[in-house]
Amino acid sequence: MPAATEVAVGFCLVLAFSLLGSSRASPLALTLVESSGLPALGLGLWGLWEGRAAGTRKFALFILAAAAVLPLIQLVPLPVEVWASLPGRAVELAILKAAGVQPGPMPLSLTPDATLHSLLALIPAAAVFVASLGLSIGARTRLAWLIIAFGGINIAISLLQTAGGPFSPLEFYNRDLVGSTLGLFANPDHEADFLACAIPLAIAVSHSRSARHRGGASVQLEPAWLIVPALVMGVFITRSRAGLILAAMGLAGALALRPARRRRTTSLEPRAVVLVAAVGALIVVALLADRIPALARFHDQGADLRFTSLPYTFAAIRRFWPAGAGFGSFVPVFQMFEPASLVDGVYFNRAHDDFLEILVEGGVASLLILIAFLVWFAREAWSVWRGASDARSSPLARAGTLVVLMILVHSSVDYPIREGAIACLFALACALLVPSSELPAASRMPGAA
């Protein structure tokens, strides 16, 4: 059963990373990935049922269940009197009356179809999280390797796209930013997210391998260490300012990934090699700064649409508070408040702040779920980082906290978690925080206290 679960999760991740690089992926891609998540979700739930989930898992599963139930509640038809009394429904009610339509029972969501799609889009990430909870440390490490491998694949595709020019056959999406590299993603910021998050995971799995081979050669250069400089360069060539910040977070956090040892060693650490290589990569980029305008983009935030649109997003929150407008409804809701000065050939498809968009669509219920998740994450992260040499504080678990934190930070100014690929990465990182099913045995591994 654990082997089948690992295969199911891996297959779901492969499809998600290959096909869900856009928040507006094709219906066929969405159907394939959502269908692939069902076996992993079923195997994961069965494994947890047999093992009787522990407290920390129960709390996490409760939060996930609440996130899934809320869209369902938004789809339940309400008596027209109740629906009409909800905040923000006056305009829609007036339109129906003007058209001579007598409204019957209506759901809370203004866009029921989009709400249902939002619920179905939750399946892959939910499957990855639930199924990964019951996996061993070794299985989780192999899934981390899968992410690292896809990071390398993205870099290779990006370079081929650049070499092929704007009409390269490897352009899987319409390129909005000429000169940016996209890899398997539609947005360079989200490709940078993926590559930056792969950095702490790569260093974590190398720490784990070094611990197993302790006592051997003085310098352990694992393949994952060698890919870190490539990941750093990959972030730079995306020209993503958010990616630069996240890569710096990943490298800085990597210094403390491994629990401290009780004894000193004079051997050369692999992390010293990789950090020197990363610094060298940054120097090369600095020398080519005139050709890489990512740094210059730090200075044009005042004209950035994501900041000028904030007052209208807050207006939408106030109008539909506390019930919310329904998941998937942000675009038509925002257009109710969008001024003529912001109307042009490109429509505003996201709030560019996942937290604010959640409040627009889910109201106070989504806020409570978000707070519960942040409390859970803070507790788990504290448990992971407070131990010096406990297996609970393994490098991979610490890397998971970094990945979750990096994505949450970027979510405050963008919508990375709306990408199916990033959502699955986020789900796996959350699962890494929860003690593995083999934790008692792991506590007896070499190097543990």
DSSP string, 236-251: HHTT-HHHHHHHHHHH
* Residue closest to 391 by CA, chosen among 254, 250, 256, 258: 258
To the nearest 10°, report the CA torsion of 23, 26, 31, 32.
Answer: -100
Residue 448 belongs to a domain: no
Rounded Cα distance, 391 and 397, in Å: 9
Residue 335 belongs to a domain: yes
Residue 320 belongs to a domain: yes
Residue 449 belongs to a domain: no
Tokens found for residue 19: 């096909």
The residues, ordered by sequence, that sit 6+ positions from 22 with a Cβ below 8 Å of its Cβ are 173, 185, 186, 187, 419
Contact 249, 402 (CB under 8 A): yes
Residue 271 belongs to a domain: yes
Residue 94 belongs to a domain: yes
The residues, ordered by sequence, that sit 6+ positions from 417 with a Cβ below 8 Å of its Cβ are 354, 407, 411, 423, 426
pLDDT in tens, the chain (449 residues): 678 888 888 889 888 888 887 767 778 888 888 898 899 888 888 877 765 555 668 888 999 999 999 999 999 999 988 888 888 887 778 877 787 777 788 899 999 999 999 999 999 999 999 999 888 888 999 999 999 999 989 888 888 877 766 666 666 665 555 455 677 888 888 888 999 999 999 888 887 655 555 444 434 445 666 788 888 888 888 877 788 888 888 888 877 776 555 444 444 455 556 565 665 555 555 445 455 555 555 444 444 667 777 888 899 999 999 999 999 988 888 888 877 766 665 667 778 889 999 999 999 999 999 999 999 999 999 988 886 545 566 888 899 999 999 999 999 888 889 888 999 999 999 999 988 754 443 343 333 33
Residue 422: which domain range?
2-442
Residue 131 belongs to a domain: yes
Residue 227 belongs to a domain: yes
* Helix/strand/coil for 329: coil
* Residue closest to 199 by CA, chosen among 259, 142, 244, 132: 244
Domain count, the chain: 1
pTM: 0.85
Backbone angles phi, psi at 384, to 5 degrees: -70, -40
Could you tell me where the beta strands, DSSP code E, fall in 161-253?
Answer: none
Alpha helix (H) residue ranges in 302-353: 305-308, 310-320, 330-337
